[in-house]
Amino acid sequence: MYWLLFSLATFLSVALHGVESECIIPIWSQMSDANRLPHMTYYKNGKYQQVLPSSGTISIDEGGSIILTCSGCSARNYLKFAESESSATVTCRHSSLYYKGIRLDFNRDVKCKKLICNAVTTSGQCGGSGSQYQIGYDVYNEADMLTDVVSCYDHSSWIPLYASHVIHGRNLEGSRQIPRPEFKKEKLDNGKLVSDVFQQRNQTEIFKHLTGTDKYITRSNYLEKGHLAPQGDFVYPTSQVSSYFYINVVPQWKSINNGNWKSVEYDVRQFANRSLNDVLVYTGSYDVLNLDRKPIHLVQDRYLPVPKYIWKIVYATLAPGKYGAIVLIVLNNPYANQAEPLCRSICGPYGWNKADRSSFSKGHVHCCDYREFRLKVPFVPQLEVTEVLSGPNPKTLI
């Protein structure tokens, strides 16, 4: 009899309140207000960390809590449901979020009153000649910053040496890309001049001045703002926006950016999606492209060089004490007629090869062992590497 009464009580509780084990937050229902979606964090080990979704949703156990925060630009940004609060803790009860005893409608209430803004802070030196900048968002202040991209920017040449970011591969499933925002000029020596040179008509004039011909810049192929840390590697809309800074881009040919480099970025995300751990990625530039025996700089014949190579280090923890890395390198020259590898290419044997990756017009790709690559490019970060990282494609002999 007691068992029957207990079962009936449980049934009525579920019928009245639904399954009480968790709250489901549908992140992507907020896409129309992507820049008003609060940061979702928890506090652990003395710092704020992002709550990451699975298949586009966040699950919070019954009785569990998360911290919602709105970052402002010049003034404080407030949560829609919390009056004059920019940060608040919400709790899961009966499959719904509650704040101070008030039930929240996620789609209606969980928004920031103003657009969320990025923060850029300086964090020391890097790469020998570079200054390190963190791009992300303040939770309360700079000490509690959520960092999306770390840029190692060289003020002497007006170009990033490299940028680093983490791919939460398993959490990318179900994510969507927001419309492209405007690029931001913060921390540049001359932001207006740098942004101007990416206009096609200006590129035509620059190349004619440097090479004596206007044949290189065409309607279909010109230099684009090539992301180092790409938008597609980030889960949240706010983090995707963090990739749109000039200190995260290098001049890259359109046919290569949309060709083999795009394919490389896709393979890295595929690898991250299958990995059991987060994947750390460093992406950078090396050397200066020469055309008609002229080094190509886009500003005053000395600043903002067009890189000859654009590289990507993929680094992952494979097991306790085992760390793998691979370096994927594209020749940023669609007019090349021969390969100029920095090392003996190992793409095929390690599963990073693909059809058309030997095409010069789309960007010739080769792969290096990290330890050999670092001998050629000494400013790259020093990593503990025990083996070469195998990729997502079938292995070949070449």
How many beta carbons lie within 10 A of that of residue 297, not counting itself? Answer: 21
Instruction: Look up residue 17 and give its two tokens.
Output: 């309140």
Instruction: Look up residue 46 and give its two tokens.
Output: 């003395």
257 carries a ligand binding annotation: yes
CA dist 257 → 42, 79, 372, 390 (Å): 37, 38, 25, 23
Alpha-carbon span 340 to 281, nearest angstrom: 24
Map residue 35 onto helix, strand or coil: helix
CA dist 75 → 83, 111, 116, 211 (Å): 15, 17, 11, 48
Torsion of CA 91, 92, 96, 97, to 10 degrees: 20
Alpha-carbon span 262 to 80, nearest angstrom: 38
Maximum distance among all alpha carbons in the chain?
96
As annotated, the active-site residues are: 227
**Residue 213 has what DSSP assignment?**
-
Find how far residue 122's CA is from the centre of its chain: 18
User: Residue 273: what residue type?
Assistant: N
Alpha-carbon span 381 to 312, nearest angstrom: 12
Alpha-carbon span 186 to 245, nearest angstrom: 7
Instruction: Look up residue 27 and give its two tokens.
Output: 């992140």
Burial category of 291 from C-beta neighbours within 10 Å (exposed 0-12, middle 13-18, buried 19 and up): middle
Binding residues: 257
Binding residues for Mg(2+): 257
